[in-house]
Amino acid sequence: MDALLNVILTPSFFYSILRVTTPIVFAAMGMVVANTAGIPNIALEGIMLIAAFVGMMTSALSSSAWIGLLCAILSGLLCAGILAFFTLYYRTNVILGGIAINSLASGGTVFALYLFCHDKGTSASVPSGVLPQVKIPLLDQIPVVGEILSGHNILTYLAFLSVIAVYILLKRTPLGFHLRAVGEDAHAAESVGIHVMRVQAVALLISGFLASLGGAFMSMGYVSWFSRDMVAGRGWIAIAAEAMGCSHPIGTALTSLLFGAADAFSNAAGVLGWPADLVRTIPYCVTLVGLILFSVRQYRRSNHKRRKAQNQPAAKPVG
């Protein structure tokens, strides 16, 4: 236990939480936007994977991490565009479309990896770009806080900025209004001449954009190469985080952090020799328990309200 605390009560542990959370936050924000427009995007996992690959490949070809990032984003937009085309225009079931994109990504990236560097495992033999880490002046002078908050990859900061951006987008901008209206009542939106399909397509594109940033982080920030299936379920975790965060940007960011913390904890516990098979379930258990507690509380609260109302003194004596 002491050993565990020694590992956990360090700035680098909290630093690692932010790093672990980065790709999840991106994808979860993507899900928030898509879900708000009533079109759940479960292709996040695949989009991240494709973006991770494309980012690696193009940065290797161009020797520029920024071009890599740009191409990763374009690939994310392209995937989301394909998904939008089929699910919105051709009315493919959106869940099926997501499964299809995920399938395309898991096979397609390995296939492309093989064509690109004759290796079906990783691209480590090819030098590819890494996005810079940012030392925040002043902040990095502060002892503990600086160590935790400064020196992250630029995408980590972008991830948390994206939370604010999504919040403003949804609450303050006309597009956000349209997204919400379409998600809540597509007919109502249509009746005022909002092009429902177009708005949903934009939502999917935004979510593809955000997920592609998460993917780029995987291969160009977190580590500096691509390896098969490297997203390893983070897209699904993001979907869980979004559901637990009730589609609200801030709530979703918090649940993503919760998950990141549990993941960082499981890493620490794993290093200390806890049973590996069980330790790896910690983040999922935490999410599950968190969700249960959250739901029970919601349930209680609604019950409580009802009971409170019952106990209220009658406006007129009964009888």
Partner 1 sequence: ACSTRDPAQTGGTSSATPAPTAQTGSYTPKNGESLNLVLLVPGLLGDKSFFDATNSAMDLIQSELGAQVKTVEMGTDQTKWYPTFVDYCEDGSYDLILTVSDSVNDTLIQVAEEFPEQLFINVDATMTDVPDNVYAMLAKMGEMSFLSGMVAAKKAEELGVNQIGFVGGLDIPGINEFLIGYIDGAQHVNPDIKVAYSYVGSFTDPSKAKENALIMYQDTQIIYTAAGASGLGVFDAAKEFTAKGEPRFAIGVDTDQAMSLKDSDPEAASLIITSSIKNIPQYTCDAVERFLNGEIPWGTNEMLGLKENGVTIAKNEFYEKLLSQESRDYVDAEWQKVISGEVTPLDTVGMSTEEVEQIRQAAKP
Partner 2 sequence: MEHISKIYGNGIVANEDVNFNLKRGEIHALVGENGAGKTTLMKILFGMEKPSSGTITLEGAPLEMNSSEDAISHGIGMVHQHFMLVNSFTVAQNIALGIEPKKGLFVDSAKVNDFARELGEKYHFDIDPTAVVGTLPVGIKQKVEILKALARGARILILDEPTAVLTPQETDQLFAELNVLKDLGHTIIFISHKLREVKAISNRVTVMRNGRSVGVYDTDELTEEELSAKIVGWEGGGELEKAPCTPGEVLIRAEHLSYYGGAQVPVLDDVSFAVHAGTVLGVAGVQGNGQVELVELLTRARELEQGRVEINGMDISRQKVRALREGGLGYIPEDRLRQGAAAGASIRENLISCSYYRAPVSGPAGLLSNEQIDAFTRQSIADYEIKCGSGASKISMLSGGNMQKVVVARECSGQPSVLIAEQPTRGVDIGAARIIHQKILSLRDSGSAVLLISADLAEVMKLSDAVVVLYDGRIVAYFPDVSAVTEEELGLCMLGLQRHAPERIQEVTK
Partner 3 sequence: MNRERSFQLLRTAVSLLIALAAAYVIIFLISDTPLEAIRIFTVGPFDSKRHLGNIVEAAIPLIFSGLAMAVVFQASLFNLGAEGIYYISGAVVSLVAIFYSMPAGIHPLVIVILGGVIGAAVMAIPGVLRAKFNASELVTSLMLNNILLGVGLWILTNFMRDPETGNQISYKFAETALLPKIVPGTRIHFGLIIALACVLLTYLFLYRTKWGYEIRMTGINRDFARYSGINTAKVIIMAHLVSGVLAGMGGAVETIGLHQRFEWTALPGYGFDGAMIAMMGGNHPLGVVLSALFVAYLRVGADMVARLSDVPTEMVSILQALIILLVSAERFLHTYRQKWIEKGVKHGRAA
Compare residues 2 and 277 and give the one whose CB is closer to partner 3.
277
Least distance CB 175 / partner 2 (angstroms): 9
Nearest to 156 by CA among 212, 209, 214, 207: 214
CB 225 within 8 A of CB 56: yes
Q: Are the C-beta atoms of residues 135 and 153 closer than 8 Å to each other? A: no
Binding string, 182-211, against partner 2, x = CB under 8 A? Answer: --xx-xxxxxxxxx----------------
Shorter beta-carbon distance to partner 3: residue 104 or 223 = 104
Range 159-178, binding partner 2 (CB under 8 A): 168, 172-174, 176-178
We find the least distance from the C-beta atom of residue 37 to partner 2, in angstroms, to be: 13
- Of the two residues 86 and 116, which places its CB atom closer to partner 3 in the complex? 86
Say how many Å lie between the first and final Cα of the chain, rounded: 63
125 binds, among partner 2, partner 1, partner 3, none (CB under 5 to 8 A by kind): partner 1
Which CB sits closer to partner 3, 45 or 131? Answer: 45
Asked if 272 touches partner 3 (CB under 8 A), the answer is no
Q: Is 93 in the site for partner 3 (CB under 8 A)?
A: yes
- Cα angle 32, 283, 79 (rounded to 5 degrees) comes to 40
State the helix-helix crossing angle for 234-244 and 282-311, rounded to 10 degrees: 10
Stretch that binds partner 2, among 51-59, 145-153, 284-292, 311-319 (CB under 8 A): 311-319
Separation CA 233–CA 281 (nearest Å): 13
Helix axes of 196-217 and 65-84: crossing angle, nearest 10 degrees: 140
Using the CB atoms, write b or e for 64-92: b if 16+ within 10 Å: ebeebbbbbbbbbbbbbebbbebbbeeee
Tokens of 275: 């049973």
Q: List binders of partner 3 among 224-263 (CB under 8 A).
A: 233, 236, 239-240, 243-244
287 interacts with partner 3 by CB under 8 A: yes
Q: Where are the beta strands (DSSP E) in the chain?
A: 133-134, 152-153
Q: Would you count residue 271 as binding partner 3 (CB under 8 A)?
A: no
Task: Give how far Cα 224 sits from Cα of 55, 112, 149, Å.
Answer: 10, 18, 21
Q: Is 161 in the site for partner 3 (CB under 8 A)?
A: no
Backbone angles phi, psi at 274, to 5 degrees: -65, 155
Binding site for partner 3 (CB under 8 A): 82, 86, 89-93, 95-97, 99-104, 106-108, 110-111, 114, 233, 236, 239-240, 243-244, 275, 277-281, 284-285, 287-288, 291-292, 294-296, 298-299
Binding site for partner 2 (CB under 8 A): 168, 172-174, 176-178, 180-181, 184-185, 187-195, 305-306, 308-310, 312, 314-316, 318-319
